[in-house]
Structure formats: C-alpha cells, structure tokens
Amino acid sequence: MPLRCLVLASGRGSNFQALLEASVRPQAPYSLEALVTDRTPCGAEALAARWQVPAKCLPYRDFSSRAAFDKALAHRVRAAAPDLVLCAGFMRVLGPAFFEACPTPLLNIHPSLLPAHRGLYTHRQTLEAGDAFHGASVHWVTPELDGGPLLAQARLPVAPEDTESSLAVRVLELEHALYPRALSYLAEAGPAARPLMLAWDGEALVPWP
C-alpha cells in the first residue's frame, strides 16, 4: 500500500509541488493526505487548495512558546495518523516536546551533502569551503538539527563561476527530483536500507560515479 504522508511546509511549496506531481504517477509509492503550515498565506497553502489536499495552518506566532507550538503540531500529526511526515521547506526546528508527543517518523530534505553544512546558508558555506561538490540530502529527522540518518543524497559539481544564487537554482532543481526518488527507494528497500547515493547531471539523477 502507498505510504500515507502528511507534509509540513512554510513557504512557496516548490518541493511540495514536486511531491504532488510525482504522487499522481501510476503506482506511486506514496500519497499526500494533508498539509500543515506554520504561516498563512503561503504558496504551499495555495497548492494544497489547487490539488484538493486538506490543509491546516498553525501560526507559530499564536503560541506562547516553542514547546507549545511543538505540542500542538504533534497533536495535529497524531490526529491525521499518517505513516510518514515529510518536511518540505518547513522552517521550524522541532524541539523535544514534539518528539516526546509524536512517534510518527519524519523525513526532511536539506540543501547540502550532509553531514557537511548543516543549518542555513548552505550555498554560501559550500563556496566559502571551496567544496568541489554540492547537493541535497534526504534524511530522517531527529532532535539534532540536520543530524538524522541519511536516506538518500545527490550531488552536483560546483563550477568555478558559481554564486550563491546559481547554486540555489541548480540544487533546488535537484531537490525536486531527489525527494520523490527517495520515497520510492524507501518503499522498495525499507527504512533500514543503506543510503541511496546519486548524482545530478543537469537533467536527471544518475548513479553516483
């Protein structure tokens, strides 16, 4: 049976859209059952309306503390009872209160080759470090920021002329291909499988050379 997924998002929803488009392909290994955002309006919310995905907003500013927000979010996830939660541009760091209240596994996509360059400004960090490769990682979410085990990763070469902006564009395109591919891999191989390592040739994901 397809994995029943709930998506967490905060912004324009480009990864959410990529997941939506892949979810309607024949024999897709997952379905997107609900969306939860932490702000309104946002692009992800508009996408959910267009695709008829039930959506709920929990405005972060309405809560007295991070722990209060985390508990409310955990309650919302438990009420939806998904098999899996997918973070797709969700800009809140989940704290202990969430993980204590919600046993549902979470995946996130992060724009770097983890464990390198956790947190924000990963394109800048990559350029400042002089890395030969950049990319994105799909990983299990744990209380440690961007520290959970890898499910899948894809890389691309950093060109001499690359800037933060050009890397952002190229890596985002890679992310849109990688996230659905990682879910297919999860459905086939199971959560204990070795990480799937890929490369982006500018048009498609290919085996890591």
Encode pLDDT of 94-118 as tens digits: 999 999 999 999 999 999 999 999 9
CB atoms under 10 Å from CB of 155, counted, come to 22
pTM: 0.97
Q: Which residues contact 120 (CB under 8 A, 6 or more apart)?
A: none
Encode pLDDT of 178-209 as tens digits: 999 999 999 999 999 999 999 999 999 999 87
Encode pLDDT of 29-54 as tens digits: 999 999 999 999 999 999 999 999 99
Catalytic positions: 110
Where are the domains positioned within the chain? 3-207
Architecture of domain 3-207: 3-Layer(aba) Sandwich (3.40)
Rounded Cα gap, residues 117 and 46, in angstroms: 31
**Rg for the chain, CA atoms, rounded:** 17
Encode pLDDT of 144-183 as tens digits: 999 999 999 999 999 999 999 999 999 999 999 999 999 9
Encode pLDDT of 136-147 as tens digits: 999 999 999 999
